[in-house]
Chain A
Amino acid sequence: MTSWYEATARQRIAGLLDPDTFAEILRPEDRITSPHLRELGAPAAFDDGVVVGRGLLAGRPVLVAAQEGAFMGGAVGEVHGAKITGLLERAMDERPAAVLLLLETGGVRLHEANAGLIAVSEIMRAILAVRAAQIPVIVLNGGRYGVFGGMGIAASLCDAIVMSEEGRLGLSGPEVIETTMGVEEFDASDRALVWRTVGGKNRYILGEAATLVSDDIAEFRAAAAVLVDAALPLDLPEVEAEHAMLRERLERFSDIGDAQEIWARLGIASPETLPILDSDTFLRVTEGKAVRRKGDAA
Chain B
Amino acid sequence: MSRWNKLGVNRAARIERASHVAKGKIVDATRIGDLLEQVIEPGDRVCIEGNNQKQADFLADALAHLDPAKVHDLHIVQSVLALPEHLDVFERGVASRLDFSFSGPQAARLARLLSSGKLKIGAIHTYLELFGRYFTDLTPRVSLVCAQAADREGNLYTGGNTEDTPVIVEATAFRRGVVIVQANEIVDRVPRVDIPGDWVDFVVRSPRPHYIEPLFTRDPAQISEVQVLMAMMAIKGIYAEYGVRRLNHGIGFDTAAIELLLPTYGESLGLRGKIATHWALNPHPALIPAIEAGFVESVHSFGSELGMENYVRARPDVFFTGPDGSLRSNRALSQTAGLYGCDMFIGSTLQIDLAGNSSTATLGRIAGFGGAPNMGSDARGRRHATEPWLRAGREADAGGIPRGRKLVVQMVETFREHMEPAFVERLDAWELAESAGLELPPVMIYGDDVTHILTEEGIANLLLCRNDEEREQAIRGVAGYTPVGLARDKRMVGNLRDRGVIRRPEDIGVDPAIATRDLLAARSMKDLVRASGGLYDPPTRFRSW
Contacts and interface: CB of A to CB of B under 8 A. Distances in A.
A3 interface: yes
A191 B545 CA distance: 7
Contact of A192 (B530, B534, B543): B543
Given A192-B540, A276-B529, A6 B545 contact: no
A196 interface: yes
B544 A276 contact: no
Given A1-B518, A2-B518, A276-B529, 5 more contacts: A3-B517, A6-B517, A191-B544, A192-B545, A276-B526
A187 to B, nearest CB: 11
A3 B534 CA distance: 22
17 contacts: A1-B518, A2-B518, A3-B517, A3-B518, A6-B517, A6-B523, A191-B544, A192-B540, A192-B543, A192-B545, A194-B544, A195-B545, A196-B545, A275-B545, A276-B530, A276-B534, A276-B545
B60 to A, nearest CB: 28
Interface string A261-279: 0000000000000011010
Interface residues of B, number: 11
A192 B543 CA distance: 6
A192 B517 contact: no
Interface in B523-539: 523, 526, 529-530, 534
Interface in A1-55: 1-3, 6
Question: Of residues B529, B543, B545, which shows the largest number of chain A Cβ atoms within 10 Å of its Cβ?
Answer: B545
B544 A192 contact: yes
A192 B544 CA distance: 4
Q: Determine the main DSSP class of B at the interface with A.
A: helix
Interface string A204-248: 000000000000000000000000000000000000000000000
A174 to B, nearest CB: 12
Interface in B487-545: 517-518, 523, 526, 529-530, 534, 540, 543-545
A199 B545 CA distance: 10
A13 to B, nearest CB: 17
Contacts of A191: 543-545
Contacts of B518: 1-3
Contacts of A192: 540, 543-545
Interface string A168-197: 000000000000000000000001101110
Nearest to A191: B544
A42 to B, nearest CB: 21
Contacts of B526: 276
B66 to A, nearest CB: 37
A196 B534 CA distance: 19
B223 to A, nearest CB: 11
Contacts of B529: 276
Contacts of B530: 276, 278
B221 to A, nearest CB: 8
A199 B530 CA distance: 19
Interface string A51-70: 00000000000000000000
Interface in A247-298: 275-276, 278
A276 B532 CA distance: 12
Contacts of B543: 191-192
A224 to B, nearest CB: 21
Nearest to A144: B221
A248 B164 CA distance: 60
Contacts of A278: 530
A275 B72 CA distance: 53
A263 B113 CA distance: 54
A2 B529 CA distance: 19
A278 B526 CA distance: 9
Nearest to B541: A191
Question: Of residues A1, A191, A196, A199, which shows the largest number of chain B Cβ atoms within 10 Å of its Cβ?
Answer: A191
A196 B526 CA distance: 14
Q: Which A-B residue pairs are the 5 nearest by beta carbons?
A: A275-B545, A191-B544, A195-B544, A192-B545, A192-B543
A194 to B, nearest CB: 7
Contacts of A6: 517, 523
B214 to A, nearest CB: 16
B8 to A, nearest CB: 54
